[in-house]
Amino acid sequence: MTHPLTGVRILELGQIIAGTYGSQVLTDLGAEVIKIETPEGDLGRIPSVAPYKGVSALFLTFNRNKKSIVINLKSDEGRELFYQLVKHSDVVIDNFRAGVLERLKVDYATLSQINPRIIQCSVTGFGSDGAYKGFPALDLVIQAIGGHLSITGEPGRPPARVGIPLADLSGGIFSCEAILAALYQREKTGNGCRVETSMFDGMLNLLSYMATHYLSTGEVPKPQGTAHEFTVPWQAFAAQDGYLVIATRQENFWKKLCVVLEHPELADDARFATNPQRLEHRAVLVPILENLLKQKTVKAWLDKLYAAEVPAAPVNDLAGAFTEPPVAEREMIVEYEHPQVGRVRLPGNPIKFDGMGKTLSRPAPLLGEHTDAVLRELLKLPPAAIAQLHEQGIIK
């Protein structure tokens, strides 16, 4: 089996994370992504962002498998080159602020005249119109305004952000879904379309059942730390040498936990017999469990909990997470050799197709590394024409 998106060509005008993550996922599935950069390059290239040997680890991560060409889209000649690339492509993705596409004359109304089959996907902060269309859409801003900071962290403590740029990543995830749906629709209609996703919308959607509960009841959820609003016990506990989590959603798990703790009588205690009762008496039960779990090491408890099939896990740091057996079993570490920094190891593709083979892993490109090759091979420009474009500062 070939990679399922082999033959799909994407022109990426996106930068940093929200405009790059979705297309990186699509390269894992076989899509060709040509990254169109300004002469200064993607802002994600700034070396101070997750610095690694003088290069941005952020850029090394989100631009694996892509090609980079530099075109000055502010010039008529540069736009004409871009238009020629659009004729040979399936998707254009961007995460510009509202109005930039129109100002650069690369909006859908323009591009669809050039290629009626083109799909344009825009990742925005708050949408391309409306009251907040011009607001800066940094990850922290979206996590805050979208409600996530209010439910993350320990009760009574200051707000805490999710430890990864979840708002940025949500833009990439939902743009990836949108592009796949648009490609499928095009197979039925023969026509492209414009599709938009916003990071704010994405984060509201990811509030999931907590949003449903609030919207239906009016009850505003509060931060719970690792605990669960509706299930007890369901949280992290300190052992002698670290932390582990225990999650007893079903009553049979609670009873098994009590046996593992060598206190089966807890399961028969009227205060703790069912989850609603445990929820009501959380303040009594949790300290009892905390005192018991401090008596052994994380491994000692996990051996017993796994044997009893009680849902539990260590609270791993990244060093621990990447040594768990599924990492190797499912090829969740890939690597490539980068010309500036050498070997780069990074997370693999979580989507597994039967027979697809190993995850593609080619180096994140140097700025403009593929400019000449793409213009020569895709647009059939002769060397003299490419040289003239260099001299005019149209390409780099």
- Which one is catalytic: 228, 263, 281, 390? 228
Q: Which of 218, 242, 213, 244 is nearest to 230 (CA)?
A: 213
Q: Which of 28, 34, 26 is nearest to 176 (CA)?
A: 26
Are 58 and 16 in contact by the 8 Å Cβ rule? The answer is: yes
Tokens 């022109």 belong to which residue? 11
C-alpha triplet 185, 191, 80: angle, nearest 5°? 130
Range 291-324 burial, b when 16+ CB lie within 10 A, else e: ebbeebebeebbebbeeeebbbbbbeeeeeeeee
In the chain, what are the domains?
9-206+326-391 (3.40.50.10540), 234-315 (3.30.1540.10)
CA 106 to chain centre: 26
Tokens of residue 242, six digits: 């670290």
Query: Sign (positive/negative) of CA torsion 201, 221, 269, 315?
Result: positive
Q: What is the pTM of this model?
A: 0.94
Per-residue pLDDT tens for 63-110? 999 999 999 999 999 999 999 999 999 999 999 999 999 999 999 999
CA 75 to chain centre: 33
Query: Which are the contacts of 347, defined by CB distance < 8 A and separation ≥ 6?
Result: 61, 332, 333, 334
* DSSP string covering 96-125: PPTTHHHHHT-SHHHHHHH-TT-EEEEEES
Predicted local distance difference test score (pLDDT) of residue 1: 62
Interhelix angle for 166-189 vs 21-28, to 10°?
60
Predicted local distance difference test score (pLDDT) of residue 357: 80
User: What gap in Å lies between CA 89 and CA 7, rounded to an integer?
Assistant: 10
Q: Could you tell me what percent of the chain has a pLDDT over 90?
A: 97
Per-residue tens of pLDDT for the chain, all 396 residues: 689 999 999 999 999 999 999 999 999 999 999 999 999 999 999 999 899 999 999 999 999 999 999 999 999 999 999 999 999 999 999 999 999 999 999 999 999 999 999 999 999 999 999 999 999 999 999 999 999 999 999 999 999 999 999 999 999 999 999 999 999 999 999 999 999 999 999 999 999 999 999 999 999 999 999 999 999 999 999 999 999 999 998 999 999 999 999 999 999 999 999 999 999 999 999 999 999 999 999 999 999 999 999 999 999 999 999 999 999 999 999 999 999 999 999 999 999 998 888 888 999 999 999 999 999 999 999 999 999 999 999 999
Predicted local distance difference test score (pLDDT) of residue 355: 84
Per-residue pLDDT tens for 252-276? 999 999 999 999 999 999 999 999 9
- Could you confirm whether 3 is annotated as catalytic? no
Tokens of residue 83, six digits: 């238009």
3-state helix vs strand vs coil in the chain, percent to 5: 40, 15, 45
Per-residue pLDDT tens for 143-170? 999 999 999 999 999 999 999 999 999 9
Q: Could you tell me what percent of the chain has a pLDDT over 70?
A: 100
Identify the bridge partners of residue 196 per DSSP, sorted by sequence position: 122
